[in-house]
Structure formats: C-alpha cells, structure tokens
C-alpha cells in the first residue's frame, strides 16, 4: 500500500473518532445546557464555548504541528480531549453550568487539532490525488454518525442521578482510541528551511480570489450547518419529539455529511471544484425549504440529510480549493487562517441558534441562513467568471508550488 493511501486510511479512522465525539456533544450538550443553565436562552452557550475553544486553538495548533510534525501535534490534541471530557463529566456530577462551559471550551481545543486531519492527508498526496485524499479522510466521519447516537443513548443513564455523565466520560475512551491510531501515521516533518520560512504576508495570501472563495465555502457551510445542527435537538424537543427521534435525525444528517465523501473527490476531478461548491449551495437552499415545509420528524430528517450533503460539497470543495493558494512554507498559517474563520463563524451561529430558537422559533433559524447562502453563491460565481476570462485567482508563486 502506498504511503499516501495508508496515511489517508489512518486519518480517516481518526476522523471517525473525532466525529463520534462531535456528534455526541451536539446530541447531549444542548440538553445538558437546558438542565443546568440559569436561563433557557443560554442552553447553547456550552456549544458556543466549544466553538470558541476551537477558534482560540486553531492557530497555535497549526503552528505547533509546523514545528513538531503532524503526528505529535495530533497526539497532543487527543490528550487535551481526554482532559476536556473529564471536566464535562465533573460538571454534570456537580451540576455546574459554568464548569460545563469551560470543559466544552477544552473539548473545542481538541477539535481544533482534529480539523487538520483533512489537510494532513493533502500534505503528502500527489496533486491528482489531493481532492480524493481530503474527501476520503472526511469519509471516516460517517462512522461517528452511527456510533455517536447509539453511544449517547446507551450511556446517558449510566449514572441514574446525573443524566449524560456517562456520555461525557465515554468520550475519554474515544480519545484513547484516536491516540493509538495516530501511532501509525507517517507524515514527514517540514524541512528546517520550510519551518523557518514565513512566506508571503498573510494579507497577500488572503487577497487571492481563490482564498476568498475557499474560506467562504468552508466558513459559511460550517456556520449554516452548525446553526441547524445545534438547534435541531432543542427544536425537536419543543415540538414534542422524543430524544431517540433527534438521535435518528442526526444519524442521517451525519450520513449526509460524510457519505458523499466516498465520491466527492471524484466529482471534483470530473466537473471541477467550483461546480461542486455551487451544487452544495443549491442543496443548502433545498434544506431550508424542507425545514420550512413543516415540523414533523420527516421534515427534520429530510432537511438535515440534504443539509449534510450540501455541507459536504461546499466543505470538501473549499478545502481542496485552499490547497491551490499557498506554498509549503505558508501552509500552516494559511490553513490556520481558514479554520479560524470557520470556527469564528461557527461561534456566531452557535450563539445565534439558541437565541433565535428561543425568541423567534424554528422558522427564524431557517430564514437567517438565506443571506449567507446568497453571499456564498455570489462569491463562487465571481471566481467562475474570473476563470472563464483567463484569471485563475491564484498568485504565480502559489501556482508553481501547487503544481510541484
């Protein structure tokens, strides 16, 4: 087996553990927040803290991996994840809302490391395999879509007087599995010259049209998806749907998020990355229409499934597009800037979801996504227009590095 394929297999398995943790947290943290928060409007604050923790850590995580290598960096992240899961469990035991917020912030730091799995796969992939490497790595997340809801259901009542305590503690074991998998990762460190070089100023990299569209595709797809996903368990509870129904809906949502990854890379190679991003935007519009059509379980199920597929096309497309606009020496800071935008957008959407849902209802959550979808559509169409007129949207220096 070629090294690049072996690395993708390892990173895909790690993605499965990361997504198991992420889906579990989405399922249980909003409901834990309702039980512990001083006001129902604060129910999604712990999830917002989770995203803030990710945003604060994404740049240091990338710089650490530039210095010590991907494997050591990722293993540092799993250690942080074990600590965060333990703190969340302690918060449930003590019934302390603010400790839960702090524990979720630490869990967000763990996630910030894990979000670089897709870029790690692309680091050592041939140019023709790069889109598939990103896509197949993300495909591992499909495992989390099935494991996490079942794990949450089976562990939420392990401690009779502390609902969801067992679910948080089970995430410590998930982090241990990730740490063991990472021992098989084989990605060489950057050369000393590449580690010491800073490359172009970040503002110059960010001015490239390709960076603008890639960052918007990643940030807006994740922000919109997060707005839906964090509010769905609460919205379903408000419409008298059972916890198991919410778990079912999120299972299919994650299937929609990661199932297409088995062929998204091939679609990008065949049709081009911008057409795949545009298809994702259209699907997200479709998800909004499904959600506005009603509040039955089938509406939540269809909306979240279509949302997942649309997210996949936009996120994989954006991640692939980002690899075009930097040199190896610029890789760490460019990826960090991109993911910082993603996490900041997610932080805003996490906080907004609870407020919108509590004040204006489920329909307001859906209508709130439309201006951002129009922004993504406009930016991607702009880059399509530029390329049709002979402008790649990438600086010559980055073009040479991408071809190499």
Whether 399 has a pLDDT exceeding 80, the answer reads no
Kindly report, residue by residue over 133-173, the tens digit of the pLDDT: 999 999 998 887 788 878 888 887 788 788 788 899 999 99
Over residues 85-113, the pLDDT tens digits come to 999 999 999 989 999 999 999 999 999 99
- Asked if the model's pLDDT at residue 279 lies above 60, the reply is yes
CATH number of the 3-185+199-403 domain: 1.20.1250.20
Helices 261-271 and 273-292, packing angle to 10 deg? 130
- Integer CA distances (angstroms), 364 to 9, 290, 352, in order: 40, 14, 10
Rg value, the chain, Cα: 20
d(CA 286, CA 280): 10
What pLDDT sits at residue 386? 94
Give the pTM. 0.81
Strand, coil or helix: 102 = helix
Overall average pLDDT of the 250-279 stretch = 92
So where are the chain's domains? 3-185+199-403
In this structure, are residues 208 and 398 in contact, taking their beta carbons and an 8 Å threshold? yes
* Largest CA-CA distance found in the chain, in angstroms, rounded: 65
Helices then strands, counting H and E runs in the chain, come out as: 19, 0
Q: For 39-48, 89-98, 217-226, which range has the lowest pLDDT when averaged over its residues?
A: 39-48
Instruction: Say if residue 195's pLDDT is above 90.
Output: no
Q: How far apart are the first and last CA of the chain?
A: 23
Q: Is 275 exposed, middle or buried (0-12, 13-18, 19+ CB in 10 A)?
A: middle
- Mind listing the pLDDT tens digit for each residue in 335-391? 999 999 988 888 788 777 767 776 777 888 888 889 999 999 999 999 999 999 888
Residue 40 DSSP one-character state = G
Q: Is the pLDDT of residue 402 over 70?
A: no
Between the CA of residue 394 and those of 233, 327, 381, what are the distances in Å? 41, 11, 16
In residues, how long is the chain?
Answer: 404
More confident residue, 294 or 359: 294
């Amino acid at each position: 087996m070629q090294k690049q394929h072996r690395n993708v297999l390892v990173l895909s398995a790690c993605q499965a553990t990361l997504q198991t943790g992420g889906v579990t947290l989405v399922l249980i943290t909003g409901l834990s927040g309702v039980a512990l928060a001083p006001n129902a409007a604060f129910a999604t604050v712990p999830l917002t803290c989770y995203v803030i923790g990710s945003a604060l850590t994404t740049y240091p995580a990338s710089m650490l991996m530039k210095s010590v290598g991907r494997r050591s960096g990722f293993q540092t992240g799993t250690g942080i994840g074990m600590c965060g899961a333990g703190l969340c469990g302690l918060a449930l035991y003590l019934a302390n809302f603010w400790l839960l917020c702090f524990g979720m912030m630490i869990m967000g730091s763990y996630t910030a490391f894990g979000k670089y799995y897709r870029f790690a796969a692309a680091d050592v992939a041939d140019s023709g395999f790069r889109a598939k490497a990103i896509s197949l790595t993300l495909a591992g997340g499909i495992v989390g879509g099935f494991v996490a809801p079942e794990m949450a259901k089976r562990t939420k009542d392990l401690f009779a007087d502390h609902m969801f305590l067992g679910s948080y503690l089970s995430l410590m074991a998930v982090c241990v599995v990730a740490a063991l998998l990472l021992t098989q990762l084989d990605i060489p460190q950057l050369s000393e010259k590449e580690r010491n070089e800073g490359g172009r100023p970040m503002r110059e990299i960010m001015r490239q049209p390709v960076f603008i569209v890639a960052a918007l595709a990643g940030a807006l797809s994740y922000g919109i998806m997060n707005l839906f996903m964090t509010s769905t368990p609460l919205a379903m509870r408000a419409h008298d749907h059972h916890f198991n129904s919410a778990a079912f809906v999120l299972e299919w949502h994650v299937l929609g998020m990661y199932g297409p990854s088995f062929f998204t890379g091939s679609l990008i190679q065949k049709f081009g990355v911008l057409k795949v991003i545009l298809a994702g935007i259209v699907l997200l519009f479709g998800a909004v229409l499904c959600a506005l059509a009603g509040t039955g379980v089938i509406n939540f199920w269809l909306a979240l499934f279509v949302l997942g597929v649309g997210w996949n096309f936009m996120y994989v497309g954006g991640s692939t597009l980002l690899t075009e606009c930097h040199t190896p020496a610029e890789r760490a800071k460019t990826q960090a800037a991109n993911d910082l935008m993603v996490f900041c957008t997610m932080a805003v959407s996490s906080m907004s979801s609870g407020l919108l849902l509590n004040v204006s209802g489920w329909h307001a959550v859906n209508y709130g996504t439309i201006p951002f979808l129009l922004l993504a559509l406009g930016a991607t169409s702009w880059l399509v227009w530029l390329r049709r007129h002979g402008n790649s949207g990438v600086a010559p220096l980055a073009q040479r590095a991408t071809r190499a």
